[in-house]
Structure 1
Amino acid sequence: MTLNLSNIPSKEIMPGYFGKLVHSENMSIAIWEVKKDAKVPEHAHMNEQIMHVMEGDFEFTLDGETKVYHSGDIVIIAPHLKHSGKALTDCKLLDVFSPTREEYR
Structure 2
Amino acid sequence: MSRRIFTGDGMSMAFWRIKGGSGPTPYGGHPNNEQFGLIVAGQLDFRLGSDERVTLGPGDVYWAPTNLPHGDSQFIGDPARNNEVWILDVFQPVREEYRNG
TM-score normalised by length of structure 2: 0.83
Aligned-partner residue type, residue 86 of structure 1: Q
Deviates more, 1:56-65 or 1:91-100: 56-65
Where does structure 1 lack aligned partners over 5 or more consecutive residues?
Answer: 1-16
| Distance (whole Å) between structure 1 residues aligned to residue 15 and residue 87 of structure 2 | 6
Aligned residue-pair number: 89
Deviations 1:21-74 (A, max 9, x none): 000111000001011122221121121100000000111211122100000000
Instruction: List alignment gaps of at least 5 residues for structure 2.
Output: 78-83
The residue that corresponds to 1:70 in the other structure is: 57
TM-score scaled to structure 1, two decimals? Answer: 0.80
Among all aligned residue pairs of Structure 1 and Structure 2, give the percentage whose two residues are the same amino acid: 31
- Residue 37 (str. 1) matches residue 24 (str. 2): no
Q: 1:79 aligns with which of 47, 56, 66?
A: 66
Mapped to 1, the partners of 2:67 and 2:15 lie a distance apart of 22
What's the Cα RMSD here?
1.0
- How big is the shift at 1:18? 1.2
